[in-house]
Amino acid sequence: MSLRARLLLLTLLFYNRRFPPPFCKSMKEKTSSSSSSSAAGLSLETLRHSAAHVMAAAVTELFDGVLVAIGPAIEDGFYYDFDRAEAFTPEDLEKIETKMREIVARDEPFVRTQKSKTDALAHFSARGEKYKVELINAIPDDKVSFYSTGGFTDLCRGPHIDRAGEIKHFKLLSVAGAYWRGDARNPMLQRVYGAAFHTESDLKKYLDRIEEAKKRDHRKLGRELGFFSVSDEVGPGLILWHPKGAMIRHIIETFWREEHYKNGYELIYSPHIGRASLWRASGHLDFYKDAMYSPMEIDKSDYYVKPMNCPFHIEIYRSRLYSYRDLPLRWAELGTVYRYEKSGVLHGLMRVRGFTQDDAHIFCAPEQVASEIREVLRFTLTMWKTFGFDEAKAYLATKPADAIGPADRWDEAILALRGAADAEGLECETDEGGGAFYGPKIDLKVKDALGREWQTATIQFDFNLPERFDMTFVGADGAKHRPYMIHRAMFGSLERFFGILIEHYAGKFPLWLAPVQAVVANISDDNADYARAVAADLRRAGLRAEADLRNEKIGYKIREATLAKAPYIFVTGEKEKSSGGVAVRTRAGENLGVIPVSEIIERLKDEAVRRV
């Protein structure tokens, strides 16, 4: 197997993170741990950045001909990118970590020096370090700084710790593929990840969390619980929903539709394909074509499968003339779209090629903007809380240099987004100039049961498409005006949302979401008919129940139902049959005793309705 193929197989979800600053330096972005400090006031960011240097020193001591690229601190740890002909193996990681501990034990200092740009280029050119040469050429300053520890010298702005001996609690974790500068046209490098903390207990907690995350991996649980699969015959990145996964999706979709109707939305449907002229008008063929699949010819016209739903919703709007009295229009669709993703970044349900967006577009008048944005944010947070996510944070991306649209519209939109976050009591981080050219946005991130943040909802203003499609409404003054257009996705996609849910609950869905809410297991064939009748009663009451009538011992059936993560297991024997009840057990192993069937049905219905 080629090096590239091996690296692609090793690529982790981390691969999709934003590529770091253009050369080795301490990150300016906040991380969840960067504010932590040791008793001496040493920041974790500085500690981790220094650990990355020690790792690079260890690699260059152990292996000949390795070229080094960049090595920043990241949330919870660090990494360094290397160019090496052979792929790093798990055994290599053990050797590197051992060598790092030797360097730490030597307690060598971090020494900062400066060189002229000319001398710096000569230094790295002589060593064949082409990545450092490229980075130096991009530096506008006449002088550049270096840090050395032991025999390793790196181009770096710093800061660093004083001595390597301060790095005490660390662990190398994995290796993944990463293109130089995040560009697939560039060489693929090997990115070695590590974790570092101030204390052994903090490191242990983090490593335990990683192990727990492995157990919760939605790909593993999705296969074990029969939720979904991916087939090479169908194609990578295209999800096959199995009956139990499809049941959960049906529950989510039904709840989603009901809540949208309650909150003043109208649901619409749009085709899976559209003429090339539509995608030309929207600008997708100019700016998004690399993510679109090749066209198909129908009646001598090119058609594309849709990568987005927006142009279809706009065409529905353009089918008639609206008045200010008709606004706002809130249109939502569970629309399936198709986008090309490179095979190396596909990841279970999290990164796919075909997915269903919980899409909505709001068309409103200027005076309605603030109230609509606040309502969208309130609705979104309520939905996420219903699914068990109570912690959320907002990220506001503001006007970039290449922004289009009137300045007053940008100001009004940004004010509405910020005001909505404040009104909901959300912590809001601002990315100045980070908005798209066509409008500002708020992204929401929620924390799961392991404390991990997930990018979820997006509320995006769009000043571009209303102009491109000449969208108007008739105002109170009788003149035509341009409406505000707001894109909104609560979950992002049903596929990714389902993946997050699996990992959040570790497959143990609350009763209202569980595909099978109760398994009825008979003790012997003599009471099989009773077990079958109990399961039928549950289903008639609107509950999702299965009868396990196999000729197996009851202990085996209970274990099987527990492994399948069914919330309740009802055992039926002669005693239960004669009393008209069932012996109730939970998947946590709690024995609730014998309860009449009619009573347990009402209890489960109440629990499901409350969505606890």
Among candidate residues 361, 374, 504, 544, the one labeled active-site is 361
214 annotated active-site: no
81 annotated active-site: no
The angle formed by the CA atoms of residues 65, 342 and 443, to the nearest 5 degrees, is 105
Residue 516's nearest CA partner among 567, 560, 478, 476 is: 567
CA 529 to chain centre: 46
Among candidate residues 76, 92, 154, 310, the one labeled active-site is 310
Phi-psi region of 593 (alpha: psi -120 to 50; beta: other; left: phi over 0): left
53 annotated active-site: no
Among candidate residues 132, 198, 339, 557, the one labeled active-site is 339
* One-letter identity of residue 224: E
Q: What is the DSSP string of 486-544?
A: EEEESSS-HHHHHHHHHHHHTT---TTT-SS-EEEEESSGGGHHHHHHHHHHHHHTT--
CA–CA separation, 68 vs 66, rounded Å? 7
Q: Please, which residues have CB within 8 angstroms of residue 146's CB and are 6 or more apart in sequence?
A: 112, 113, 114, 115, 120, 153, 154, 155, 156
Locus of tokens 């069937």 = 597
Distances (CA, A) of 17 to 179, 429, 584: 12, 18, 46
Q: Which two tokens stand for residue 434?
A: 């980070």
CA–CA separation, 60 vs 68, rounded Å? 8
441 annotated active-site: yes
Among candidate residues 216, 284, 357, 462, the one labeled active-site is 357
CA 256 to chain centre: 20
260 annotated active-site: no
CA–CA separation, 154 vs 145, rounded Å? 9
Three state DSSP letters for 429-455:
EEECCCCECCECEEEEEEECCCCCEEE
- Do residues 363 and 329 touch, judged by C-beta distance below 8 A? yes
Locus of tokens 């309502």 = 375
Among candidate residues 81, 154, 359, 462, the one labeled active-site is 359
517 annotated active-site: no
Among candidate residues 353, 409, 487, 488, the one labeled active-site is 487
Please, which residues bridge with residue 570 across strands? Answer: 520, 584
Among candidate residues 99, 191, 249, 441, the one labeled active-site is 441
Q: Please, which residues have CB within 8 angstroms of residue 380's CB and are 6 or more apart in sequence?
A: 444, 457, 459, 488, 490
Residues belonging to the active site? 310, 339, 357, 359, 361, 441, 487
